[in-house]
Amino acid sequence: MMMTPCRNILAGAAVVGLMFVGAEAQSPARTGERVGTAVFRQRIGVDANPKASSDYQQAAREESIALMRTTDANHFHYAKVWSEIEPRPGVYNTNEIRSLVQLTSPLPIAFNLRVLDAGARNMPDAYKSLAWDSPEMVGHVADVIGQIAPVLGNRPWSYAIGNEIDLYFASRPGEVPAYGRMLQQVKSRVKTLHPAARFSSCFQFAAAPQLRTVYAPIVAPLDHVTFTYYPLGANFAVRPENSLDADLQTMLAAAQPRPIFLQEIGYPSSALLGSTPDRQSAFVKAAFETIRAAGPTKVFGATYLFQADLPEWMVNLITVAYGNNTPTFRAFVETLGLRDANDRPKPAWDEFVRQAQLSAPQ
């Protein structure tokens, strides 16, 4: 559930709200590795959006990053919409990426180039009608990868092309093979420019049963499969807190022999959805225990979405983008945070801090 307007606002100009580091940068020893090496440890992170009562400006972002830095989060998930890097054909803007990369150093990055997101092509309008595997499209994707490569440097440990791509392909299954061929061609570009990065694309958990059939052409070139995961039932009602125990096996079976990465996990705390702050905390505990038990060779890690509950104005933007303004969808979006609307820590915040400590390399 990479919510496009939310991600755009959280970063000020375009991305998730992990923007500015007011705290002292972590040493490589704290992150558990030397950036750019082949050494790998299981990742745990949180998307550090500003508190709901803030103005979401620079100082608020500094504060949210500083708070995230008080935990043992050992990687940084960063997703960027293509059309914000290249607003017009051949015109690139990497200023925000540069700022973000510099200010979150040296955390390893799980990067997602969002050529697809929220069921739509996110690219300059002139490219939207191109076939995925046309020389023109492949060239444009390779070009934007090349433009941001000097900025990202050796930080990416994971490099995904497309977010929750099944939202788009569910109604366009005929485009799946061409997308797979495009991925195969741009993978070499990514691997040349970022040798330490593992190549991926992101699906919703709901797409797992189709990975070996409908989406097989897309999965074929991937080094690992990336998922977003929210255990919800009808009308966004929460499922049991330990749902990941079984669901993780579904994802692993669908991806095998490839490992998986949980780009986003989340669990709302709203009573309207049958949840409570204590249930949210129990999910955080159960989820990270399950991930840790699976081990880093099968599950590369997970990022919790979000650090703080969202303000009403942002929820309004998201409901417009998704065309869903029902009370249950609003409650889902609004209460995913580990901290409430008044920036008071929910029980899930303390549990995340504990789980990050347990997951951090010794």
pTM: 0.89
pLDDT of residue 350: 98
The strand order across the sheet containing 299-304 reads: 43-46, 299-304, 260-265, 225-229, 202-204
pLDDT of residue 104: 82
- What does the DSSP 8-state code read for residue 173? G
Q: How many domains does the chain have?
A: 1
For 33-79, write each residue's pLDDT tens digit. Answer: 433 434 457 999 999 899 999 998 878 888 888 898 899 999 999 99
Please give the residue range of the domain that contains residue 261.
Answer: 4-359
For 243-257, write each residue's pLDDT tens digit. Answer: 999 999 999 999 999
pLDDT of residue 360: 67
Q: Hunting for tokens 């330990």 — which residue is that?
A: 242
pLDDT of residue 2: 43
pLDDT of residue 193: 98
Phi/psi zone of residue 350: left (φ > 0), alpha (ψ -120 to 50 degrees), beta? Answer: alpha
DSSP β-ladder status, 43-46 and 156-161: unpaired
pLDDT of residue 101: 86
pLDDT of residue 58: 75
What residues of the chain score a pLDDT lower than 50? Answer: 2-39, 362
CATH number of 243's domain: 3.20.20.80
pLDDT of residue 1: 60
